[in-house]
Structure 1
Amino acid sequence: MSNAIKETHFQFPGQQGFYKGKVRDVYIFEKELVVVASDRISAFDVVLPRPIPYKGQVLNQIAAKFLEATSDIVPNWVTSTPDPNVTIGTKCEPFKVEMVIRGYMSGHAAREYKAGKRSICGVPMPENLRENDPFPEPIITPTTKADQGHDEDISREEILKQGIVSEQDYLQLEKYTRALYQRGQEMAEKMGLILVDTKYEFGKVGDQILLIDEIHTPDSSRYFYADGYEENQLKGLPQKQLSKEFVRQWLISNGFQGKDGQSVPEMTDEIVESISDRYIELFEKITGEKFQKANTTEIETRIEQAILAQLD
């Protein structure tokens, strides 16, 4: 099995700080961030014990492709991608909300619906929807951006009431979110996919709003195969997904949903390899490109040298 990056501990000239996210290691400089996409994998806001080979490369390269493809809609933070696992970009002040947009009644929305709720984040959901049915129009269901622990659903009204985001900025975030989702749907359709739901994160430099983090990856988005979607809905069958949902379902079937007292099931070599294979499949299906595995023999040295060369 190939080497995988669980975590990095570099020290770069001019580095002012370091932040370890769920799956990314962020090196902080005066005006820029160096983000290493590790091979850590999280589900239910828990980082699982074993990294997944090539997962970081998959996510970093998908995000780079879609950030470039949407830069006419909203400027983004990226200035360079010097390594398959690395993105360097503008340091900005992140908004404390994630903009989740849902075109279909799936995932978290479906779980809330099954529990009898008919609104999510203050947005009403129509009666008589089946799981994976489309909403009449996409709905925005923001969450708080937690530094630790779980992100929480929050309504637009509560965001404005608490002053988390100004009304002027929030309306712009909503506008960007809808335009990005529409572009993502159009690109997915060309690949025979349906972009079901996704999330966007934004930051600000001075008065300018930038799109940050990753977009339209299987970690931040849910895709269905378009072929067979209608038939599966008519028959009440599950949809074939391109997302991290298969990892969540594996955990759920083994008694883990991130709740207190639950233990992560054993991640065997076979499970790790199968998850890696699925991520590579996701890359190829989402981008339409053949995945080129990066050299992982001296993976940390490779990454460190690429970053140092860019910082010079």
Structure 2
Amino acid sequence: MIVDPARVLDAVELPFLPNHYRGKVRDNYDLPDGRRLIVASDRLSAFDRILCAVPYKGQILTQTARWWFEETADLCRNHVIDYPDPNVLLCRRLTILPVEIVVRGYLAGTTGTSILTLYKAGERRMYGTVLPDGMRDNERLPQPIITPTSKEFDGGHDRPLTPDEILADGLLTAAQWDEISATALALFARGQEIAARRGLILADTKYEFGVDADGNILLADEVHTPDSSRFWKADSYTARVAAGERPDSFDKDVVRSWVAARCDPYRDAIPPIPDDMILATSAVYVEAFETITGERFVPDLAGETVLARITDRLRVFASAP
């Protein structure tokens, strides 16, 4: 697989749009009329830092989330208005709730807040849940659990929370917690059901919710993408777990695991990630999109570069009221 560097969107610079905020992998522009433009770059983030840029990742994630937003619209409202470009979402501007909701169906993960990391450190009581002794890596949990973390908006490390702490700290009201926890479990069940039909296991995922001007809670950010979720291939799962091997995945754990094996990713400099691994990761994203949606991935090759294409299509918003 050979990719023209012009088709990689690492940095997003759109000075004609107002109120720019750069996130880890997305660039946000708040329009004066209450709408927001979110441009998905190809940056790959893990361990609270940027690791590399993966060709076509931004388009794939935006289009995968679009597919899932449509598949779950009957379960909850979301922030989507339109898609002016394959990498760009036009959405309602929300006040993001300060709790990130992670639903987990398996004992998995590599980050400091993952239940597998905590479990291997000897913890059994976590996130308000008690897990049984004797579980193996990547084993299915007795039932899906919610593992909420704080949503650190200024680059700080997210911290594990229990429902009692969420309410005691005033992060959410009891009514908000009841609504988003029930919605998250319903979304996860839908995601697992659809994934199973595609020969996949949805092991865990994160959700973000926000409140609109009228106080309604809406699903925001992305949903069931390879960046926000851990997908495994079902046909090889049992044999690989029995052998103590990592399940075949459709997520960025490929890069995360490579980095974590070579340094402390929270403290050390990240070693250069080989080009062949980056290209292989891009191929995994393409395969994930096509497997999840049943559609063929077609990269948008308009414009001399991805940024030039997006610039041309978003100029109409420069004069938005």
TM-score category, normalised to shorter length: over 0.9
Structure 2 residue identity aligned to 1:302: R
Q: Which AA in structure 2 matches 1:32?
A: R
Q: Is 1:159 aligned to 2:166, yes or no?
A: yes
Residue 224 of structure 1, CA deviation: 1.1
Of the three residues 6, 17, 20, the one matched with 1:18 is 20
Q: Which amino acid aligns with 1:36?
A: V
- Select the residue among 218, 231, 241 that pairs with 1:210: 218
Residue-by-residue CA offset, 1:202-230 (whole Å, 9 max, x unaligned): 00112211000001011110011111222
User: What is the distance in 2 between the residues matched to 1:310 and 1:292?
Assistant: 26
Say whether residues 1:200 and 2:207 are aligned partners: yes
Distance in 2 between the 1:300 and 1:275 partners? 21
Q: Distance in 2 between matches of 1:182 and 1:160?
A: 25
Paired with 2:240 and 2:54, the residues of 1 have a C-alpha distance of: 31
Counterpart residue type for residue 115 of structure 1: A
Alignment partner, residue 269 of structure 1: 275
Partners of 2:252 and 2:281 within 8 A in 1:
no
Residue aligned with 1:47, SS: strand
Match of 2:156 among 149, 153, 176: 149
- CA–CA distance in 1 between the matches of 2:262 and 2:133? 32
Q: Say if 1:272 and 1:73 are closer, same or farther in 2 by CA, change over 3 A.
A: same
Name 2:284's counterpart in structure 1. 278
CA RMSD of aligned residues (A): 1.6
Q: Give the secondary structure class of the aligned counterpart of 1:242.
A: coil
Name the SS for the 1:249 alignment partner: helix
> Which of 181, 188, 193 is matched with 2:188 structurally?
181
Query: Which secondary structure does the structure 1 equivalent of 2:27 belong to?
Result: strand
Aligned residue type for 1:8: V
In structure 2, what is the Cα distance between the partners aligned to 1:182 and 1:309? Answer: 39
Question: 5+ unaligned residues in a row in structure 2: which ranges?
Answer: none
Deviations 1:238-272 (A, max 9, x none): 2111111111111022224222xx11111333332
1:83–1:303 Cα contact (<8 Å) kept: yes
Alignment correspondent of 2:118:
112
**What is the DSSP-based 3-state SS (H/G/I as helix, E as strand, rest coil) of the residue aligned with 1:41?**
strand
Q: Does structure 2 retain, via aligned residues, the 8 Å contact 1:39–1:51?
A: yes
Counterpart CA distance in 2 for 1:199 and 1:78 is 18
Note the C-alpha offset of 1:126: 1.5
Find the counterpart in structure 1 of residue 248 from structure 2: 240
2:197 to 190, 201, 209: 190
Q: Does 1:125 align with 2:131?
A: yes
TM-score, length of structure 2 as denominator length: 0.91
Is this contact kept in 1: 2:199–2:234, CA < 8 A? yes
In the TM superposition, what are the counterparts of 1:219-258 in structure 2 within 5 Å? 219-258=227-266
**Paired residue for 2:294?**
288
Q: Which runs of 5+ in 1 are unaligned?
A: none
The 3 A distance-change label for structure 1 pair 224 and 268 is closer
Residue by residue over 1:155-201, the C-alpha shift from the partner in whole angstroms, topping out at 9 and shown as x without a partner, is 11111000011111111000100000001001101110010000100
Give the TM-score normalised by structure 1: 0.94
CA contact (8 A) 1:191 1:286 kept: yes
Equivalence for 1:33: 36
